[in-house]
Amino acid sequence: MSTRRKDHKGRVLKRGESQRNNLTYEYRYVDFDGKRRSVYAPTLVELRRKEEEIQRRLSFGDNYAAGEITAMEMVEYYLSTKQGVRQSTKIGYQFVLGVLRKEEFATRKINTIKVSDVKRYRKGV
């Protein structure tokens, strides 16, 4: 029977977590590109917060953090997650997608868009 890995205070560590010799915590994971990455934190609580954020990004399925998708692809993905909406809402979504497809803004990569760009686009400037 294998023993569970624990930190110096006796807390059980999850998969990918470890405690370094200087008592900081490390979480190792594989990113979208198949590269092994590590994040570090001084406390286990902070490390687990970082882990949750990483898992949330990885579960998204697209490498939006690296900016490899366009604004249009991001909107389409978001709308595909909407389940159980009324028919009139779906028609509204399709209308917005049609308007967005005609805009230059839709073809821009996510990593090049700033909040101010989105605000200007929404105002129609």
User: Could you state, in order of their start, the residue ranges of all structural domains in the chain?
Assistant: 17-61, 71-123
**Alpha carbon of residue 99 to chain centroid:** 26
Q: Quote the strand ranges of 4-125, DSSP E.
A: 17-19, 25-30, 36-41
Supply the DSSP symbol for 105.
G
Q: What does each of the 125 residues of the chain score in pLDDT, given as a tens digit?
A: 568 899 999 999 999 999 999 999 999 998 777 789 899 999 999 999 999 888 877 776 645 556 677 888 888 878 877 778 899 999 999 998 998 888 888 888 888 888 888 788 777 64
What does pTM read for this prediction? 0.51
The count of C-alpha atoms lying within 13 angstroms of the C-alpha of 125, restricted to the half-sphere facing its C-beta, is 6
Query: CB under 8 Å to 106, separation ≥6 — which residues?
Result: 70, 71, 72, 75, 100
Q: Are strands 17-19 and 25-30 parallel, antiparallel or unpaired?
A: antiparallel
